[in-house]
Structure 1
Amino acid sequence: MAASEYIRSLRSRIGHDLLLLPGVTAVIRDGGRILLARHAHSGAWSLVGGAVEPGEEPLEAVQREVREELGAEITVTGIIGVYGGEPLMVTYPNGDRVGYVTTAYECVLRTPPTPDGVELTEIGWFERRDIFSLDRRGWIDRVLADVRG
């Protein structure tokens, strides 16, 4: 996780203690296929997303996260749902603990994606039925169950 100045400021005061953060998730589709990314910190496949910055609109945050992590532009076509709880609790390799409450947006690409090589090491398009055999973050199953079509 590339920490923003805001998160670094909080961490300087609370150390590795749990932070509850608003997040955004991009469910990028191409017909029946869904774009997943392999995360550098865990090696697991997941959807693209991250934290909403102070003062930032969530819609702008999902566009920014896709731009930062994939170098791509998206069009958001709707909201799939809002997710949180134990499945979205993360302990990063440095010991930082985060609980995300994320809004998942349905998206389509406007420009080609390329993983940033820092947070994401690989990307791939997967049919929904093939995702369940991947080493993945379990919470994405909840999101994908709510994706229509």
Structure 2
Amino acid sequence: MRSSVGQELILLPGATAVVFDGGGRVLLLRRGDNGQWSLPAGMVDPGEQPSDAALREVLEETGIVAEILAVAGVATHPVVYPNGDRCEYLNIWFRCRAVGGVLAADGDESLDVGWFALDALPPLDEWGQLRLSTAVSGQVWFQPAGGAVHPALTRPDSL
């Protein structure tokens, strides 16, 4: 697709998993493309449901098997990748719990993975903070119609 549109803005479907272990710690990964800590996430493949995509990304990127407990939110958000590609993701994120697997970075999309207590998190971008705080709150979050598009203006103060 990029060979046709170059670095122009494209709309893509995405899914994110906010995975907790039995001790209430959250699963994070250090991304391979920019080195930042993030929740497991990725694109929804054609014919795939967002819930399946979220669970697939968790397993691929972290080695953890998870199950979905609830939808935590939905919103669009812009991304500019280090190579200049621009995307707008329609992202659905889910509150999940770990049910198995072995914690391991894949060495490509994830350089490091770990469980983090909510009071000892590495830096997360504002979208990661929004997704985590809504998953912790137990409320489903969405951008109100006609509302502000900046998550810091609308995210709950759960963390």
Give the TM-score normalised by structure 1. Answer: 0.82
Contact 2:68 2:97 in 1 (8 A): yes
Deviation at 1:145, TM superposition (A): 1.8
Moved more, 64-73 or 50-59: 64-73
Tell me how far 1:141 sits from its aligned partner.
1.2
Alignment partner of 2:105 out of 108, 111, 115? 115
Q: Distance in 2 between matches of 1:101 and 1:137?
A: 17
Q: Name whichever of 134-143 and 118-127 sits farther off.
A: 134-143
In structure 2, which of residues 43, 50, 57 is the aligned counterpart of residue 51 of structure 1?
A: 43
Q: Which amino acid aligns with 2:102?
A: P
C-alpha distance in structure 2 between counterparts of 1:90 and 1:111, whole Å:
30
User: Distance between the aligned counterparts of 2:133 and 2:97, measured in 1?
Assistant: 18
The Cα offsets for residues 10-68 of structure 1, whole Å up to 9 and x where unpaired, read as 21210111111111001110132101111121111110010111111111111221222
Aligned position for 2:67: 75
Residues 35-44 or 70-79, more deviating? 70-79
Q: Which of 49, 53, 57 is 1:61 aligned to?
A: 53
Q: C-alpha distance in 2, partners of 1:74/1:68?
A: 11
Structure number with the bigger relative contact order (C-alpha 8 A, sep ≥ 6) is: 1
Alignment partner of 2:136 out of 133, 145, 148: 148
Unaligned runs of 5+ in 2: 138-159
For residues 90 and 120 of structure 2, the distance between their equivalents in structure 1, rounded to whole angstroms, comes to 26
Ranges in structure 1 where 5+ consecutive residues have no aligned partner: 1-9
More helix by share: 1
Determine helix, strand or coil for the equivalent of 1:105: strand
2:117: which partner in 1? 127
